[in-house]
């Protein structure tokens, strides 16, 4: 039995490619199809804004990585050859080190960000519920969680948390020196939006518009924000105006800044909607950041005069500037991952040997 990882990330594939093979977290069919892949004994699918990966415990033999590569593309209706130059493959010790690095946020666009560990844990739970996670991957991912904890404990990599969401908010600050007088629309109510809100509140913004499918999610998010305000800043309130997706078209012209992060599989803001908004604003600029995968804002919006659209891949330069000071801590974390990866590989080899000999 060998651990195999096949996937693509922000390091190997642009957003326009990654979003084509994105797996929805609520797509139970994908796990059923993964179980049918030849050689797969156990499996896990990790799909985030920056990576799409399939991790499997597979029988040794020819073509195991190719089988997973075909699954990754065939499931979404594409031929493997169309994506072969973007896909990476890891097997055995290489796969172990890779997943340990991913869980420890060393392979993230924002090294040291905390969201990826939660996303890996969520993928682990989903795979458990779908009954495609067995004893091999159970041991493996629990060790990955332990390694991520060691990295957090023994380095300062995560002492000043930086996330894709917070970087998006920082980019807004670069464009507009003063944000407190701007109308800011956030689309979504998940972890990324929460990170953006947290960063903007620290910069003095107290009024937001949030569009989401569920009003209850926005109310819950507002309650969490109030708690943070009282605990950290001794402020009493932040104002959140809820908008349904159906109302967006009527409100867009009021917005100076739009930040989007949802799991929607289609564009929530189209070119026609944004052309109408910019005309109503009499060409007063709109700044947009879309960190969703698949994208929530039609990329054609970038071609409209006075609308400035950035996607998640555009944030990489800002990220690099922020993380130069983390280089030394990242090296310490890499040594931990190397050490733990080597140890786990030896243990796994021992378990497999015992199984094959019946000891």
Phi, psi of 243 (to 5 degrees): -125, 135
Q: Identify the residue whose tokens are 């990866």.
A: 341
Q: Is 288 a catalytic residue?
A: no
- Residue in 177, 78, 158, 76 with CA at minimum distance from that of residue 117: 158
- Residue in 349, 359, 357, 354 with CA at minimum distance from that of residue 60: 349
- Structure tokens that stand for 220 in this block: 């819950």
- Structure tokens that stand for 139 in this block: 């041991």
> Half-sphere exposure of residue 50, counting CA atoms within 13 Å on the CB side?
24
Kindly write down the DSSP assignment for every residue of 211-280, as one continuous string. E-S-HHHHHHHHHHHHHHIIIII-----EEEEE-GGGHHHHGGG-SEEEE----SS-SB-HHHHHHHHHH
Q: Identify the residue whose tokens are 């804002």.
A: 297
Distance CA 22, CA 15 (A): 10
**Range 213-217 contact pairs with CB under 8 angstroms and sequence separation of 24 or more:** 213/244, 213/245, 213/262, 214/189, 215/242, 215/244, 217/189
| CB 12 within 8 Å of CB 86 | yes
Helix axes 327-357, 135-154, angle to 10 degrees: 160
Distance CA 11, CA 50 (A): 9
Distance CA 239, CA 196 (A): 15
Buried b (16+ CB within 10 A) or exposed e, 77-106: eeeeeebeebbbbbbebebbbbbbbbbbbb
Distance CA 246, CA 224 (A): 25
Please work out, in degrees rounded to the nearest 5, the angle formed at the alpha carbon of residue 35 by the alpha carbons of 51 and 120: 30
Active site (catalytic) residues: 49
């Amino acid at each position: 039995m060998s651990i195999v990882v096949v996937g693509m990330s922000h390091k190997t594939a642009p957003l326009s490619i990654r979003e084509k093979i994105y797996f929805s977290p609520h797509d139970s069919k994908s796990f059923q199809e993964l179980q049918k892949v030849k050689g797969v004994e156990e499996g896990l699918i990790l799909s985030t804004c920056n990576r799409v990966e399939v991790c499997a415990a597979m029988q040794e033999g020819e073509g195991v990585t190719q089988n997973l590569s075909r699954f990754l593309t065939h499931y979404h209706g594409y031929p493997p050859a169309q994506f072969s130059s973007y896909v990476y493959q890891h097997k055995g010790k290489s796969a172990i080190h890779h997943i340990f690095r991913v869980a420890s946020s060393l392979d993230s666009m924002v090294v040291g960000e905390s969201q990826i560990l939660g996303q890996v844990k969520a993928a682990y739970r989903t795979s458990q519920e779908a009954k495609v996670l067995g004893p091999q991957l159970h041991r493996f991912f629990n060790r990955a969680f332990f390694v991520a904890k060691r990295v957090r404990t023994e380095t300062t990599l995560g002492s000043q948390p930086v996330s894709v969401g917070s970087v998006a908010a920082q980019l807004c600050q670069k464009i507009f020196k003063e944000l407190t007088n701007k109308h800011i629309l956030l689309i979504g109510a998940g972890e990324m939006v929460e990170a953006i809100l947290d960063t903007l509140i620290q910069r003095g913004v107290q009024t937001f518009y949030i569009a989401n499918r569920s009003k209850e999610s926005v109310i819950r998010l507002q309650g969490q924000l109030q708690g943070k305000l009282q605990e950290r800043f001794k402020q009493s309130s932040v104002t959140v105006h809820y908008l349904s997706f159906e109302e967006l078209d009527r409100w867009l012209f009021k917005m100076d800044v739009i930040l989007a992060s949802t799991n929607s599989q289609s564009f929530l803001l189209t070119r026609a909607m944004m052309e109408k908004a910019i005309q109503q604003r009499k060409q007063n600029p709109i700044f947009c950041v879309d960190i969703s995968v698949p994208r929530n804002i039609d990329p054609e919006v970038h071609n409209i005069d006075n609308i400035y659209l950035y996607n998640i891949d555009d944030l990489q330069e800002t990220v690099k500037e922020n993380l130069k000071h983390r280089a030394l801590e990242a090296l310490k974390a890499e040594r931990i991952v190397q050490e733990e990866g080597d140890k786990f590989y030896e243990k796994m080899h021992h378990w497999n040997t015992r199984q094959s000999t019946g000891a």
